[in-house]
Amino acid sequence: MRCFWDERQRLHDPLQEFFNGALHPAADQAKRVDAILAAIGRTDAPADAGLDPIARTHDGGYLQFLRSANDRWQAAGRDGDAFPYTFPVVRRRALKLDRIDALLGRYSFDTATPIGPETWTAAYWSAQGALSALVAVTGGERAAFALCRPPGHHAGADYCGGYSYLNSAVICADAAIAAGKRSVTILDVDYHHGNGTQDMMAGRDEIAFVSIHADPATDYPFYWGHADESRGNILNLPLPRGTDWTAYQPALIQAIDWIEQRAPELLIVSYGADTHETDPISHFKLKTGDYGSMARRIASLGVPTVILMEGGYAIDALGANVAEFLGGF
Ligand code: SP5
Ligand code: ZN
């Protein structure tokens, strides 16, 4: 399978994230990439499709913010990664925000997604990898993989969060629709609900989103991913902590039946390996071999498939988990 990766994606290298009242080493370490690259072998550099496909999906003010945030942070006399500390939880209105701290809160929803000097560059190439995988699949490949890192599924049209800055899955879906596809479905199997992807589904009947994830009653991102958010083009299938392959399968079958009924021309899979039993921040119990079973079920749909990397933080198991999943296609 063709795999896309650009070395500039390493330039995003966050040191720390803040949760549970303390700074912790960032979970999205650049060394995640080495584990995946060692397991998948040859990769291709993505083509540069420019800013247009990113600007089709994301808000212009947000993109401007992402590109300039760390410069503005440094201009304010700060070092290291830019972090928000205050958030506009009251209904947002069109304020002319200028202070970097005001902007950081306006365009973020958590304190785990810092912006370093090269975060924009890395996120840009992560999204370009997804677009190149789309080109491979529309050109006739059965499936293609983009090693998207930083990931994307928590990023909305105008916000970052959950280690995500640009939503590669939606960028890819929007590009496919712009190129003439009539129906695209995004299947999200990361441990965490893809809140950013879901938020961009409103009024988009040509794109559908189905997600299997940890119940937001117990797990991040808490405010999205509940079953009662399902409607029309959205299906949420939350599962309890402790879910193993036996308990996971019925949800996967339900997701696949739902996709089959929509008969999409293109499938985009947001793949997270953080459902693995050894993941340090998650609580499902899938084993490496289960990713092959999962992939074979998805592949049985017979729909051309773009596979995008999202989460997965158990570095020792990460390469094998990704290779097992890709091997199922
Ligand atoms: C792409 C992706 O997988 N993003 C996930 C972001 C989750 N951030 C949550 C941080 C809080 C984790 N709490 C961990 C407790 C460890 N004992
Ligand atoms: Zn995740």
Q: Residue 89's pLDDT is what?
A: 84
- Beta bridge partners, 4, equal 44, 146
Nearest residue (by CA) to ligand 1, atom 2, is 311
Nearest residue (by CA) to ligand 1, atom 13, is 281
> What span, in angstroms and rounded, lies between the C-alpha atoms of 264 and 137?
14
Do residues 276 and 312 lie in contact, with contact meaning Cβ atoms separated by under 8 Å? Answer: yes
Q: What is the mean pLDDT of residues 261-286?
A: 98
Residues 6+ apart with CB under 8 A from 120: 66, 67, 165
Which ligand minimizes its atom distance to the CA of 25? 1
Sign of CA dihedral 129, 130, 131, 137: positive
Q: What is the mean pLDDT of residues 218-228?
A: 98
Q: Residue 95's pLDDT is what?
A: 86
Q: Residue 189's pLDDT is what?
A: 99
Q: What is the mean pLDDT of residues 298-325?
A: 98
Whether 47 has a pLDDT exceeding 90, the answer reads yes
> What span, in angstroms and rounded, lies between the C-alpha atoms of 249 and 293?
9
Q: Residue 94's pLDDT is what?
A: 81
Which ligand minimizes its atom distance to the CA of 23? 1
Render 220-234 in DSSP notation, one character per residue: TT-SS--GGG-BTTE
Whether 295 has a pLDDT exceeding 80, the answer reads yes
Q: Which of 147, 192, 222, 274 to mutate to test the pocket of ligand 1 (most atoms within 8 A of CB)?
A: 192
Tens of pLDDT, residues 67-86: 999 999 999 999 999 999 99
> What span, in angstroms and rounded, lies between the C-alpha atoms of 43 and 82?
31
pTM of the predicted model, to two decimals?
0.98
Spell out the domains of the chain, with CATH numbers in brackets: 2-49+117-327 (3.40.800.20)
In single-letter form, the type of residue at position 223 comes to Y
Q: What is the mean pLDDT of residues 30-42?
A: 96
Tens of pLDDT, residues 165-179: 999 999 999 999 999
Q: Which pLDDT band holds residue 61 (cuts at 50, 70, 90)?
A: very high
Q: Looking up tokens 């392959």, which residue turns up?
A: 245
> What span, in angstroms and rounded, lies between the C-alpha atoms of 67 and 301?
39
Q: Residue 268's pLDDT is what?
A: 99
For residue 151 and ligand 1, the question of a CB distance below 6 A is answered with yes
Do residues 157 and 164 lie in contact, with contact meaning Cβ atoms separated by under 8 Å? Answer: no
Whether 92 has a pLDDT exceeding 80, the answer reads no
Sign of CA dihedral 281, 11, 31, 79: negative
Q: Residue 93's pLDDT is what?
A: 77
**What percentage of the chain has pLDDT greater than the value 70?**
100
Ligand 2 centroid from CA 310, angstroms: 7
For residue 19 and ligand 1, the question of a CB distance below 6 A is answered with yes
For residue 272 and ligand 1, the question of a CB distance below 6 A is answered with yes
> What span, in angstroms and rounded, lies between the C-alpha atoms of 209 and 148?
19
Q: Looking up tokens 């793949």, which residue turns up?
A: 271
For residue 311 and ligand 1, the question of a CB distance below 6 A is answered with yes
Nearest residue (by CA) to ligand 1, atom 5, is 162
Q: Which pLDDT band holds residue 90 (cuts at 50, 70, 90)?
A: confident
> What span, in angstroms and rounded, lies between the C-alpha atoms of 275 and 282?
7
Tens of pLDDT, residues 139-190: 999 999 999 999 999 999 999 999 999 999 999 999 999 999 999 999 999 9
Do residues 200 and 170 lie in contact, with contact meaning Cβ atoms separated by under 8 Å? Answer: yes
Average pLDDT over the chain reads 97
Nearest residue (by CA) to ligand 1, atom 12, is 281
Residues 6+ apart with CB under 8 A from 173: 184, 186, 207, 266, 268
154 catalytic? Reply is yes
- Which of 12, 58, 153, 154 is catalytic? The answer is 154
Q: What is the mean pLDDT of residues 189-203?
A: 97
